[in-house]
Amino acid sequence: MFSKLLIANRGEIAVRIAKTARRMGVQTVAVYSDVDADAVHVAACDEAVHIGPAAPSESYLVIDKIIDAAKRTGAQAIHPGYGFLSENAAFAKACEKAEIAFVGPGVEAIRIMGSKSLSKDLMTRSGVPVAPGYQGEEQSLKTFKAEAERIGYPVLLKASAGGGGKGMRLVEEASELKEALASAKREAKSAFGDDRFLIEKFIGRPRHVEVQVFGDTHGNIVHLFERDCSLQRRHQKVIEEAPAPDLSPRVRARLHEAAVNAARSVNYVGAGTVEFLFDPSADEADSVYFMEMNTRLQVEHPVTECVTGLDLVEWQLRVASGEELPLSQDEITCTGHAFEARLYAEDADAGFLPSTGHISRMVLPSGDGMRMDAGVAEGGDVTPHYDPMIAKIITSAETRDGALSRLRQALSGVRVSGPETNARFLHALAAHPAFQAIELDTHFIERHNDALFAHPELSSAPIIAACLFLLAEEADESASSEGGDLWTSLGGWRLTTPSKRAFWLRDGETAIDVVRTEAEGDTVFVINDERITAHGQATAAGDVRLTVDGQALDAFVARTKTGLRVWLGAERFDLAVVDPLSGPDSSGLAAGSLAAPMPGVVTALSCKPGDKASAGDTLVVMEAMKMEHALHAPSDGVVKAYRFQVGDQVGEGDLLVEFEADEAE
């Protein structure tokens, strides 16, 4: 076993790798960019080396800088984690040339399996079932049109070097192909430096099932059972589980056999995942199709660790140092059930737009059968430069129902103040009856869209929690004022009359007037003329315990740019705090104009000044957090001017397009 390991990654996976290395007595070296100097993964390692600016293309993706950092610190091995250089054959070759152990498979396995086209060809020759498609060298639009007609719509476009849903587009009819291919090529070029594509038949309601495999340098290859990753949005996994539920023994055996054969076909070494589409409506003998092989550790590997009791990173390090696999196939068992939910900094209600900002408060739950793998901490920042994952929330139990119950409980306790998160959406998924009933397929989210994005009406409890928080803030400010401030320290006590305190809030366009009265031992909140008996305590840090009409509740309140956010269980409510002496606010933007919803880079302008556009037409495309986002015309009208050009960096709220709506609108 080597004594020092460099981790060529950041975030939660770098922290995860460092934890196992420390347990094994291996020293660790972190690498970091300008914006990551104070990141969690830097503190988790024994040493750290600065490798450049924030942009991955100038830091985490620069092979020479990573190799140089390993040489300077005396690291004998490099673990690439996932993403960045983890599936880069040139990086593995550079490690080999520098006589540094690469914690991953050989160069040839990465090269073949890193190409969806080459891998599908090899799988076909090796007897592994694949879906109908085209993965040839001819990449013209004319060829793709012809192949799509041959295969039959709908079809999927996939970046040959892609992964994580990036560069993937569903094309349902011929008229959509040209624009979809152009957009996907831009995204693939940016994410992978390679805009080659393949096209394959789109299967209507498949499940996404994958098998964890492991190989060593002594010719041993085993599987560590399977995972179901069917809950996806934009072809990116959201919640994963192990083992895959409701599979027949025949299908399960077929998956395991095909995965091991796929790994054996490239003499695979280390951790890998073979991904399949499973069509429940097909005959069992023809229900499984190879999609791709990921030649690295997967984001969702913790669920496999939970059901096997194994540490996959430890296995990686042992195999990379030349040891045989710790266990044979017969010695590997699967017990219980586990789930993983990916907590992202994104606004699910706004089409899953990435969100950035300073994390002023972060609380992740803990308890039996709960594991939190976090990549940021309270006081840290989510920047637009990297993947927006905050943490992975993992739960396990003896049964699927037990593990799912723990997942719902854990998601109800997530509290992140600053950037938006998808915690409420994840809880809605975990609580959906169809998910509990194992009615799974990759279009689950689209099919249940209305239920997953439904929000409860605002009740009195979050309003009262907000008022208690405001009182706690005032008390905290008063206590900390030097010498005391007469105006902030005045209480509500009045001789012979009940004490009163008024609050002015707003829920969207709805005004909320609140009067809190204390009299004869009771606390009464009058909310828009409705009397509610309630009491409770709050801290300026945001923790609130309250009882409303006899029901005890726990809430959490935090300041936002526009007012307050109140969490009550898995739900959250946004309330504006109104100053009755101030006038109406203004965004400063002309009606119909488009502003940047997040920091990013402008990648395409779809019109010219003076062009007419219809409602829904794409006006500008920008890239943020490694994904493309199209901004559309809000109505029929005319593009008056663009404020930025292709390649320009923009900030959140920057005016991008001056747009004039038709008078009829």
| DSSP state at residue 137 | S
Q: Which residue has the tokens 């397009």?
A: 657
Q: 27-33 and 47-52: which strand pairing?
A: parallel
| Catalytic residue (one of 196, 233, 296, 406) | 296
* Residue 301 Cα distances to 222, 313, 360, 394, 440, angstroms: 15, 9, 29, 10, 20
Catalytic residue status for 565: no
Cα 159 from Cα 304, distance rounded (Å): 27
Comparing CA positions, the residue from 416, 304, 292 lying closest to residue 357 is 416
* Residue 632 Cα distances to 487, 587, 592, 639, 661, angstroms: 49, 19, 11, 11, 13
The alpha carbons of the chain give a radius of gyration, in whole angstroms, of 27
| DSSP state at residue 401 | H
Strand positions, DSSP E, 135-235 = 155-159, 169-171, 197-201, 207-215, 221-233
Cα 162 from Cα 169, distance rounded (Å): 12
Comparing CA positions, the residue from 488, 478, 460, 618 lying closest to residue 547 is 460
Comparing CA positions, the residue from 511, 540, 563, 535 lying closest to residue 461 is 535
Q: Cβ(269)–Cβ(216) under 8 Å?
A: yes
Q: Cβ(297)–Cβ(244) under 8 Å?
A: no
Task: List the beta bridge partners of residue 507.
Answer: 510
Coil vs helix vs strand at 465: helix
Q: Cβ(421)–Cβ(382) under 8 Å?
A: no
Active centre residues (catalytic): 296
